[in-house]
Amino acid sequence: MAAHMSRKEILGKVHKMVPPMLEKFHKGQLGRVAVIGGSEDYTGAPYFSAMASARLGCDMSHVICEPSAGMVIKTYSPNLMVHPYMRQEKNMAKHETIESITEPIIAMLDRLHVIVIGPGLGRDAAMQETCARVLKEARKRSVGFVLDADGLLLVQKQPDLVQGYKECILTPNVVEFGRLAKSQKIDTDEGDPSKVCEKLAQALGGVTIIQKGKVDYISNGSYTLVSDGEGGLKRSGGQGDTLTGTLATLLAYRKAYLERLWDHENDMAPDELLAFAAYGGSAITRECSRLAFKEKGRSLQAADLTDYVHPAFLDLIGERSTDESKL
């Protein structure tokens, strides 16, 4: 069972889950991810998430955001596909409704492997309701998703959105974890913190939770992993966005593994793969932070982590050789 494996063994499993780079693959097979967030006040977060996803190897990285955010995000990188479909309540035109705003986003779901909801989302009622409706449709289509930041507010207020869904990962920090635990009547001061994370995962029907902190506790309610790799000492805002993007790509790789896009032993079950993806995302992000802090010191900013996503991946997971796919 994953809970009894060493760090090296778990990262070895992540290595096996990552697809090799094969000539037969076509565009999109190794990941189609969309980050849903980005309001007029927050444009960096969705960019950091989507770029982390792209730098880890996702083929197609989308951002679905507010028009004012979209214009800004497009200037950050030409590599991202930016869709200005979201609306804050104050910016809705008279003819627009939540239904009309949600429709083009839902139409994209069948073309996506994973969605990330939360980076730069904010707490605007229209933005929150749009995401709630998208999550309901994502579940119907078995699309994996990652929830962070204000996306977690949806779980706090509407736990049924994720209840029992095994294709999602929640990534709360200490404050967000406390709010989620309180909403489920769980005392965060009660005993071993890993057990508290496990209780919350159980209360939400076995979803996977990464409780971010000095170490990251990762639990699906059945077993708990501890990701304790060294990170950087600078706590600049936005580093968690690198985690969500990294997780999204690893979940896309998990889907490719389950669909047997390449020849492999097929010896890992869906729930194991989800735990390995969560651990891998945590480990890579912590290594990104360590590498960036080593270079930048106290001047480190969230944007600095982006350049270290691939080096961190190579350090911890390692590239797949094409020969491995023939095993």
Q: Is the pLDDT of residue 138 over 60?
A: yes
**Where residue 31 falls among pLDDT bands split at 50, 70, 90?**
very high
Q: Give the tens place of pLDDT for each residue, 151-207.
A: 999 999 999 999 999 999 999 999 999 999 999 999 988 778 889 999 999 999 999
Q: Give the tens place of pLDDT for each residue, 291-310.
A: 999 999 999 999 999 999 99
Check the annotation: does 294 bind a ligand: no
What per-residue confidence (pLDDT) applies to 3? 66
Check the annotation: does 280 bind a ligand: no
Check the annotation: does 241 bind a ligand: yes
* 221: Cβ contacts below 8 Å, ≥ 6 apart: 198, 199, 201, 202, 204, 205, 206, 207
Check the annotation: does 236 bind a ligand: yes
Check the annotation: does 195 bind a ligand: no
State mean pLDDT over 219-234.
95
* 235: Cβ contacts below 8 Å, ≥ 6 apart: none
Number of CB atoms found within 10 A of residue 75's CB:
10
**Where residue 126 falls among pLDDT bands split at 50, 70, 90?**
very high
**Where residue 323 falls among pLDDT bands split at 50, 70, 90?**
low
What per-residue confidence (pLDDT) applies to 325? 47
Strands annotated E in 137-291: 144-147, 168-170, 208-211, 216-219, 224-227
What average pLDDT is seen over the chain? 95
Check the annotation: does 297 bind a ligand: no
pTM above 0.85, yes or no: yes
State mean pLDDT over 40-59.
97
Boundaries of every domain in the chain: 33-315
Check the annotation: does 214 bind a ligand: yes
State mean pLDDT over 88-107.
97
Closest CA to 47 of 88, 77, 85, 84: 77
User: Alpha-carbon distance 114 to 205, whole Å?
Assistant: 20
User: Alpha-carbon distance 227 to 15, whole Å?
Assistant: 16
Check the annotation: does 318 bind a ligand: no
Q: Give the tens place of pLDDT for each residue, 263-279.
A: 999 999 999 999 999 99
Check the annotation: does 175 bind a ligand: yes
Check the annotation: does 235 bind a ligand: yes
Q: Is the pLDDT of residue 42 over 90?
A: yes
Check the annotation: does 177 bind a ligand: yes
If one looks up domain 33-315 in CATH, what number appears?
Answer: 3.40.1190.20
Number of CB atoms found within 10 A of residue 178's CB:
15
Check the annotation: does 70 bind a ligand: no
**Where residue 327 falls among pLDDT bands split at 50, 70, 90?**
very low
Check the annotation: does 32 bind a ligand: no
Check the annotation: does 176 bind a ligand: yes
